[in-house]
């Protein structure tokens, strides 16, 4: 990358800079006339000096007033032209700057992707992120003005100067007499500011690193009561930044003071010298006024120039400081990632590693001239004590780390230099803690199949225009033009034909890594859009019917689930749910705050239930106070069981003391709301309060019909109503199949219903469909919504599904429990029976099922052979077996 920001600017935006410069120069004539006209207006049009009216001008005759209008009209025109130029220049500057910023960020990001892995041991995300996001941000603004601003403002200054010189050279000289002083002192001060600026950038980077550490290590902070120490360190860092900024401010304002002072000296000379000349009669007042005006005009560009100088220095430092961070030693070649070979050769035969050497940053030899031959149809286990170079070897073999010396050869391919396109598709690597991206489970699973956009989307009409514009802009900024919405999935690599067969394969692989059940359960708890997946929705409805039949057929089950029935009150659902009879979508209806909803209150009123609700509310409130008033406010029972929170309880106590149970209709609005809100929470079969009579239940069912019928158009999309014949898009698959409430108070109801559900799923072969839905589950930041073992299994599945010739596993299952480890190892060894498995393991007893065992010691291969043979011949292997 260019080390000087100017070189960078010229290399990528020469054309734009030239256009900007030309535009700036073109604007000068109008600027000059804009300055010239006031003099003409005052001296000739108003005072009629040196002119006799009527005057002839381009063939027309003007009297004095008309001449005045002509000149002020011209003045207005010049204003418009000037501003138009400014507008065009500013916009073009903005675009140029933004494009360059986009290019710079993109280039820095590409560099991160090419960093050698060990770099990340020294550089944290906390340091890198602010460089690309925040630090380079002001560069965009500067790049736009890098050449145009000094030329424009400098030119402006020259125009004004020349105007002044033409008017009166003595005064012109006087006005700029002190500029050399500024030109001398300000760079000196600025240099100090620059140094402090550098220091500030460094400190802020360190600060963000510390922030990142606090977030990642927050468990440790809590576990060791480290918060005070962390606070002190953070405060210390903030203090350092404050000191630096304080010193920057002091210097900055000294510079500002100097600038302003010198600027103000101008008028002093004008009034003194010019005034004397007017008194002596050697200068006209109009000229003096125009000169003072011109000098004022001069202040702005001069200030701009000085400010530009400061920004330039700032940008220069930032650019240099960022760029030097993005040039670590041993960065991969750009082509290594970009080249797409015509054919991706298979890695078969033998992998020959010879004389591999690798040192860490302290100079410690990790691999010390390691040589080995690995048959690529064998399953090879690597074992060795700590420090034997096991981990490093797996990473070198997977081409994540470049060896310092040595060769890696498969057939006639040199693995050290072949492009990532070959290595990344033919070799898979799974470390101890694989990374899961913040996307859907499926996106993560298929990540290893997305190398190039393979099937472009056919855009038409507006979408096509938008796509073309995107490509054009990306090209102008040197960005990737690949379409993220295209189909990137490399089906052939996975050994399948299309999306459908890929799904089948995905199910197979998920079962292989023991993740099938988990994804199945996630699928059951996921929602789908029936418009987009009508077939799935149809299957779910069929499952609902089958489930219903099964439950109906078994009298012992019948009580355990209460299906939603349009015409019956559901005693296992709350009053709110019974009235709504659907799932709220969005915020319009909140099951916990139904009484506050106007439409709900209107329906209650129309159903003649208001009185009933008030009296129910009164009963519930009385009971709650009776039960909970004696408990301390922080008692768990409030949260677990009470309808009224401990904060609200005193209000309700006061309310009940104030009102009369027989005269609830005369209540104040807020009291009504308080009482009304309570009955909505009642679930008859759970709370057993006895406040809901059959009569009330009937009325609520009637109100339910009315609620749906009269629902205003704007609320129509706020509820997904329960309908036995329709898929409910607002609830998950499981609730769609059950279509009812599991009854309270029946022993093991949930388990028994669960059993029926699995029977239904098995009979209809729905498991695959549900797992497919589960693949859409969003796993959250760094896979946070999955457990650690689920994440690891997903990473292993990702490595298997791309069907690599070599799978390298670096203790990839050691974080899982023992029985899962055994199961997974069996499955993986089976799957790769004719391909290569290179598996670094911590215990020798796990290596018995492999075709070959390689024992490392101090960065070299100590022994290699079949486990059965090694067991007899190798004392080292025997010792390791005995120890594990």
Nearer to other proteins, 49 or 645 (CB): 645
Q: Which of 219, 342, 343, 636 binds other proteins (CB under 8 A)?
A: 636
Q: Does 52 bind other proteins (CB under 8 A)?
A: no
694 binds other proteins (CB under 8 A): no
Q: Is 631 in the site for other proteins (CB under 8 A)?
A: yes
Q: Does 690 bind other proteins (CB under 8 A)?
A: yes
CA distance 518 to 768: 13
Say whether residue 553 binds other proteins (CB under 8 A): no
Which range in 466-474, 509-517, 619-627, 728-736 contacts other proteins by CB under 8 A? 619-627
Residue 156 neighbours by CB under 8 Å, 6+ apart: 28, 31, 301
Rounded to an integer, what is the distance from CA 182 to the centroid of its chain? 46
Q: Does 202 bind other proteins (CB under 8 A)?
A: no
Q: Are 408 and 788 in contact (CB under 8 A)?
A: no
Closest to 214 (Cα-Cα) out of 232, 227, 201:
227
- Closest approach, Cβ 368 to other proteins, in A, equals 56
Q: Where are the alpha helices (DSSP H) in 51-116?
A: 64-114
What is the total count of residues that contact other proteins (CB under 8 A)? 22
Return the residue of 303, 407, 525, 687 that touches other proteins, per CB under 8 A. Answer: 687
To the nearest whole angstrom, how small is the minimum distance from the Cβ of residue 625 to other proteins? 10
Which member of 627, 673, 702, 742 binds other proteins (CB under 8 A)?
A: 627
For the CA atoms of 590, 595, 599, 602, what is the dihedral angle to 10 degrees? 160
Question: Which residue in 245, 635, 699, 871 binds other proteins (CB under 8 A)?
Answer: 635
The one segment of 309-317, 327-335, 681-689, 808-816 that binds other proteins by CB under 8 A: 681-689
For other proteins, the closer of residues 559 and 778 by Cβ is 559
Q: Does 634 bind other proteins (CB under 8 A)?
A: no
Cα angle 407-413-416, degrees, rounded to a multiple of 5: 40
Closest separation between CB of residue 655 and other proteins, Å?
20
Question: From the CB of 208, what's the least distance to other proteins, in Å?
Answer: 45
Among 72, 289, 413, 689, binds other proteins (CB under 8 A): 689
Q: Which is nearer to other proteins, 323 or 691 (CB)?
A: 691
Q: Is the dihedral of CA 136, 137, 142, 143 positive or negative?
A: positive
Q: Using the rule CB under 8 A, is 688 a contact of other proteins?
A: yes
Cis bond upstream, residue 605 (ω within 30): no
How crowded is residue 67: how many other Cβ atoms within 10 Å of its Cβ? 22
d(CA 484, CA 521): 30
Cβ 623 to other proteins shortest distance, Å: 8
Under 8 Å between Cβ of 2 and 104:
no
Q: Name which position in 639, 748, 781, 787 contacts other proteins (CB under 8 A).
A: 748
Residue 443 has a CB neighbour count (10 Å cut-off) of 16
The answer to whether 279 contacts other proteins (rule: CB under 8 A) is no
* Identity of the residue, 375 or 681, whose beta carbon is nearer to other proteins in the bound complex: 681
Measure the CA dihedral 267/273/275/281, to 10°.
-150
For residue 453, the SS3 value is: strand
Sole binder of other proteins in the list 281, 630, 657, 712 (CB under 8 A): 630
Q: Is 747 in the site for other proteins (CB under 8 A)?
A: yes
| Least CB distance to other proteins at residue 639 (A) | 12
Least Å distance, CB 685 to other proteins, is: 9
Residue closer to other proteins by CB (options 28, 746) is: 746
Q: Cα 395 vs. chain centroid, distance in angstroms?
A: 29
CB of residue 110 to other proteins, shortest distance in Å: 58
- What is the closest distance, in whole angstroms, from the C-beta atom of residue 681 to other proteins in the complex? 14
The pattern of x and - marking residues 559 through 588 that bind other proteins according to CB under 8 A reads: x-----------------------------
Q: Smallest distance, Å, CB 630 to other proteins?
A: 8
Comparing CA positions, the residue from 563, 443, 543, 558 lying closest to residue 759 is: 543
Pairing of strands 582-584, 719-721: antiparallel
Tokens standing for residue 626: 């009776």
Q: Give yes or no for residue 709 binding other proteins (CB under 8 A).
A: no
Residue 745 in the binding site for other proteins (CB under 8 A):
yes
Distance CA 88, CA 83 (A): 9
Distance CA 85, CA 26 (A): 9
Tell me whether residue 631 or residue 720 sits nearer to other proteins (CB atom). Answer: 631
Check if the beta carbon of residue 117 is closer than 8 Å to that of residue 392. Answer: no
Quote the DSSP letter at residue 692.
Answer: -
> Is the CB of residue 424 less than 8 Å from the CB of residue 451?
yes
Block residue for tokens 């990142």:
212
Task: Return the residue matching tokens 């457990």.
Answer: 787
Position among 626, 660, 662, 694 found at the interface with other proteins (CB under 8 A): 626
- Segment contacting other proteins (CB under 8 A): 403-411, 608-616, 624-632, 647-655? 624-632
Least distance (Å) from other proteins to the CB of residue 684?
A: 9
Residue with tokens 């009102």: 659
What is the distance between the alpha carbons of residues 736 and 452, in angstroms, rounded to a whole number? 38
Among 8, 142, 319, 628, which residue interacts with other proteins (rule: CB under 8 A)?
628
Cβ–Cβ under 8 Å, residues 877 and 847: no
Place of tokens 């470390």: 431
Q: Which is nearer to other proteins, 462 or 751 (CB)?
A: 751
Q: Which is nearer to other proteins, 365 or 687 (CB)?
A: 687
The nearer residue to other proteins, 85 or 628, going by C-beta atoms, is: 628
Question: Quick one: 501 or 693, whose CB is closer to other proteins?
Answer: 693
Give the footprint of other proteins on residues 757-816 (CB under 8 A): none
What are the distances in angstroms from CA 586 to CA 277, 583, 591, 631, 730? Answer: 79, 10, 11, 36, 10
How many residues are given for the chain? 884
Q: Which stretch binds other proteins (CB under 8 A): 324-332, 566-574, 578-586, 687-695?
A: 687-695
Nearer to other proteins, 626 or 709 (CB): 626
**Minimum separation from the CB atom of position 686 to other proteins (A):** 8
Please identify which residue in 52, 282, 556, 819 interacts with other proteins, judged by CB under 8 A: 556
Angstrom distance (rounded) from CA 426 to CA 345: 8
Q: Which is nearer to other proteins, 480 or 559 (CB)?
A: 559
Of 238-246, 738-746, 801-809, 826-834: span binding other proteins (CB under 8 A): 738-746
Residue nearer to other proteins on the CB measure, 336 or 571? 571
Min CB(744)–other proteins separation in Å: 8
Q: Is residue 746 a contact point for other proteins (CB under 8 A)? A: yes
Distant-in-sequence, close-in-space partners of 111: CB < 8 Å, separation ≥ 6: 1, 326, 327, 331
User: Residues 6 or more apart from 573 whose CB is under 8 A from it?
Assistant: 562, 564, 683, 741
- Three-class HEC string of 180-246: HHHHHHHHHHHHHHHHHHHHHHHHHHHHHHHHHHHHHCHHHHHHCCCHHHHHHHHHHHHHHHHHHHH
637 binds other proteins (CB under 8 A): yes
Q: Does 640 bind other proteins (CB under 8 A)?
A: yes
Task: Pick the closer one to other proteins by CB: 178 or 557.
Answer: 557
Secondary structure in 3-state letters for 507-574? HHHHHHCCCHHHHHHHHHCCCCCCCCCHHHHHHHHHHHHHHHHHHHHCHHHHCCEEECCCCCCCCCCC
The nearer residue to other proteins, 559 or 717, going by C-beta atoms, is 559
**Binding footprint of other proteins on the chain (CB under 8 A):** 556, 559, 623, 626-628, 630-631, 635-637, 640-641, 687-690, 744-748
């Amino acid at each position: 990358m260019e080390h000087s920001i100017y070189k960078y600017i010229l290399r990528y935006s020469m054309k734009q800079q030239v256009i900007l410069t030309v535009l700036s120069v073109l604007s000068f004539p109008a600027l000059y006339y804009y300055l010239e006209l006031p003099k003409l207006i005052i001296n000739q049009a108003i005072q009629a000096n040196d002119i006799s009216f009527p005057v002839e001008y381009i063939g027309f005759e003007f009297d004095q007033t008309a001449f005045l209008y002509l000149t002020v009209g011209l003045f207005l025109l010049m204003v418009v032209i000037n501003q138009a130029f400014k507008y065009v220049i500013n916009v073009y500057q903005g675009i140029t700057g933004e494009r360059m910023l986009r290019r710079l960020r993109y280039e820095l990001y590409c560099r991160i992707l090419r960093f050698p892995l060990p770099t990340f041991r020294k550089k944290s995300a906390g340091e890198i992120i602010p460089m690309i996001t925040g630090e380079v941000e002001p560069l965009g603004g500067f790049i736009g003005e890098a050449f145009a601003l000094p030329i424009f403002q400098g030119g402006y200054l020259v125009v004004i100067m020349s105007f002044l010189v033409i008017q009166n050279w003595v005064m012109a000289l006087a006005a700029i007499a002190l500029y050399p002083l500024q030109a001398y002192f300000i760079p000196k001060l600025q240099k100090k500011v620059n140094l402090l600026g550098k220091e500030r950038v460094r400190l802020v980077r360190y600060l963000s690193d510390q922030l990142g550490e606090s977030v990642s290590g927050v468990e440790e902070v809590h576990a060791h009561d480290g918060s005070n120490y962390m606070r002190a360190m953070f405060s210390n860092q903030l203090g350092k930044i404050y000191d630096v900024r304080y010193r920057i401010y002091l210097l900055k304002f000294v510079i500002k003071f100097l600038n302003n002072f010198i600027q103000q000296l101008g008028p002093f000379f004008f009034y003194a010298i010019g005034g004397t000349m007017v008194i002596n009669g050697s200068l006209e007042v109009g000229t003096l006024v125009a000169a003072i005006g011109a000098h004022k005009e001069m202040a702005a560009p001069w200030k701009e120039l000085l400010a530009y100088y400061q920004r330039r220095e700032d940008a220069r430092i930032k650019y240099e400081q960022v760029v030097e961070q993005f040039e670590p030693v041993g960065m991969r070649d750009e082509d290594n990632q970009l080249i797409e070979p015509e054919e991706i050769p298979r890695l078969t035969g033998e992998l020959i590693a010879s004389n591999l050497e690798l040192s860490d940053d302290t100079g410690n030899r990790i691999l010390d001239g390691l040589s080995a031959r690995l048959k690529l149809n064998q399953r090879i286990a690597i074992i060795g004590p700590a420090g034997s170079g096991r981990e490093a070897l797996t990473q070198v073999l997977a081409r994540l780390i470049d060896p310092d010396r040595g060769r890696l050869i498969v057939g006639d391919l040199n693995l050290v230099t072949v492009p990532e396109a070959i290595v990344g598709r033919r070799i898979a690597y799974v470390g101890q803690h694989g990374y899961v991206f913040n996307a859907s489970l499926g996106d993560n699973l298929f990540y290893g199949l997305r190398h190039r956009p393979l099937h472009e989307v056919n855009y038409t009409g507006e979408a096509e225009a938008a796509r073309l514009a995107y490509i054009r802009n990306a090209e102008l900024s040197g960005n990737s033009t690949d379409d993220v919405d295209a189909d990137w999935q490399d089906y052939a690599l996975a050994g399948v034909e299309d999306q459908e067969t890929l799904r089948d394969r995905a199910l197979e692989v998920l079962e292989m890594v023991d993740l099938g059940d988990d994804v199945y359960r996630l699928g059951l708890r996921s929602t789908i859009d029936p418009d987009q997946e009508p077939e799935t929705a149809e299957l779910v409805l069929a499952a609902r019917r089958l489930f219903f039949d099964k439950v109906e057929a078994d009298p012992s089950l019948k009580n355990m689930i209460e299906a939603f029935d349009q015409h019956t009150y559901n005693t296992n659902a709350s009053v709110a749910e019974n009235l709504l009879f659907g799932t709220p979508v969005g915020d319009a209806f909140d099951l916990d705050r139904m009484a506050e909803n106007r439409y709900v209150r209107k329906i209650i009123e129309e159903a003649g239930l208001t009185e009933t609700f008030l009296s129910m509310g009164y009963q519930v409130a009385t009971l709650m106070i009776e039960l909970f008033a004696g408990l301390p406010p922080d008692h768990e029972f409030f949260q677990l069981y009470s309808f009224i929170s401990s904060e609200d309880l005193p209000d309700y106590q006061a309310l009940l003391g104030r009102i009369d149970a027989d005269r609830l209709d005369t209540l104040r609005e807020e009291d009504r709301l308080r009482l009304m809100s309570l009955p909505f929470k009642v679930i008859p079969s759970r709370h057993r309060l006895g406040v809901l009579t059959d009569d009330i239940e009937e009325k609520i069912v009637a109100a339910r019909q009315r609620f749906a019928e009269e629902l205003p158009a704007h609320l129509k999309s706020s509820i997904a109503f329960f309908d036995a014949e329709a898929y409910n898009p607002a609830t998950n698959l499981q609730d769609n199949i059950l279509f009812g409430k599991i009854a309270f108070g029946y022993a093991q109801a949930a388990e028994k219903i669960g059993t029926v559900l699995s029977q239904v799923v098995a009979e209809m072969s729905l498991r695959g469909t549900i797992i497919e839905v589960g693949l859409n589950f969003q796993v959250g930041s760094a896979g946070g919504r999955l457990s650690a073992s689920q994440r690891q299994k997903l990473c292993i599945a990702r490595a298997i599904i791309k069907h690599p010739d070599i799978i390298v596993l670096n203790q990839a299952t050691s974080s899982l429990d023992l029985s899962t480890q055994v199961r997974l190892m069996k499955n993986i060894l089976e799957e790769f029976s004719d391909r290569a498995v290179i598996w670094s393991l911590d215990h020798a007893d796990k290596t018995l099922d492999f075709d070959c065992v390689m024992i490392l010691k101090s960065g070299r291969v100590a022994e290699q052979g079949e486990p059965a043979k090694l067991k007899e011949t190798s004392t080292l292997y025997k010792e390791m077996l005995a120890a594990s």
